[in-house]
């Protein structure tokens, strides 16, 4: 288990752990599709990759055949040694992950609301829940903490054109 995972694979693994913590049983693929908002093919592809890397065991012929191996989550970029505990305690909902991504892009609550089709108040509520779950005080700290935990990755599309901090 030495390969780093993509953010999507880590989100899948996190969703499996969160489901087990909440329900006491492994999730089905359908449970993961609902939790992640992904298609069956996407979930299957991610699970196959996680199995090849040795992070999950897929048991054929059983409805709830997704088992996490070991107790430690793999690194996504750079992830703290106690990532399993952190991610279990702070499992963000799919909507919170969407809001977090838009916060990372620098959008205001008003613009987040517009983009997601929710009210500004609801966007602020999601942002506050994110801050609480990540144990931070500001949106900037939330983005930094989420990057540290491997929940999001900043890429060149996230940096606005004309940003003096942009490289290249």
126 neighbors 97 (Cβ within 8 angstroms):
no
Highest mean predicted confidence (pLDDT) among 31-45, 72-86, 103-117, 129-143 = 103-117
Give me the pLDDT at residue 121, please.
93
Mean pLDDT of the chain: 74
Q: Which tens digit of pLDDT belongs to each residue from 137-165?
A: 999 888 888 887 777 776 545 444 444 44
Closest of 86, 116, 121 to residue 99, by C-alpha: 116
What fold, for 7-77? Arc Repressor Mutant, subunit A (1.10.10)
Please give the Cα distance from 118 to 151 (Å, whole number).
23
Which helix (H) or strand (E) is 57 found in, with range?
strand 56-58
Residue 67 has pLDDT above 70, yes or no: no
What is the number of other CB atoms lying within 10 angstroms of the CB of residue 120?
14
pLDDT bracket for residue 63 (50, 70, 90): low
pLDDT-based confidence at residue 109 (cuts at 50, 70, 90): very high
* Numbered ranges of CATH 1.10.10.10 in the chain: 7-77, 94-149
**How much is the pLDDT for 54?**
77
**Which CATH number fits the domain 94-149, given the four candidates 3.20.10.10, 1.10.10.10, 1.10.3210.50, 2.60.40.10?**
1.10.10.10
What pLDDT digit, counting tens, does each position of 71-95 carry?
Answer: 344 444 434 444 444 444 557 788 8
Q: What is the mean pLDDT of residues 125-129?
A: 91
Biggest alpha carbon–alpha carbon distance for the chain: 55
Instruction: Determine how many CB atoms are found less than 10 A away from the CB of residue 24.
Output: 7
Closest CA relative to residue 121, chosen from 99, 137, 94: 99
pLDDT at 30: 85
pTM listed for this prediction: 0.44
């Amino acid at each position: 288990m030495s390969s780093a995972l993509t953010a999507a694979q880590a989100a899948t693994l996190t969703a499996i752990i969160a489901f087990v913590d909440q329900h006491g049983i492994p999730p089905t693929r359908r449970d993961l599709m609902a939790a992640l908002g992904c298609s069956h093919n996407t979930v299957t592809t991610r699970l196959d990759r996680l199995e090849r890397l040795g992070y999950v065991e897929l048991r054929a012929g059983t409805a709830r055949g997704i088992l996490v191996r070991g107790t430690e989550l793999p690194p996504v970029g750079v992830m703290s040694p106690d990532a399993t505990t952190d991610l279990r305690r702070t499992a963000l909902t799919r909507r919170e992950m969407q809001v977090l991504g838009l916060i990372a892009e620098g959008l205001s609550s008003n613009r987040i609301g517009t983009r997601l089709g929710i009210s500004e108040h609801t966007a602020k509520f999601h942002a506050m829940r994110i801050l609480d779950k990540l144990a931070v005080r500001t949106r900037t700290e939330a983005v930094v903490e989420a990057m540290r935990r491997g929940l999001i990755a900043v890429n060149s599309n996230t940096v606005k054109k004309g940003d003096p901090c942009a490289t290249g």
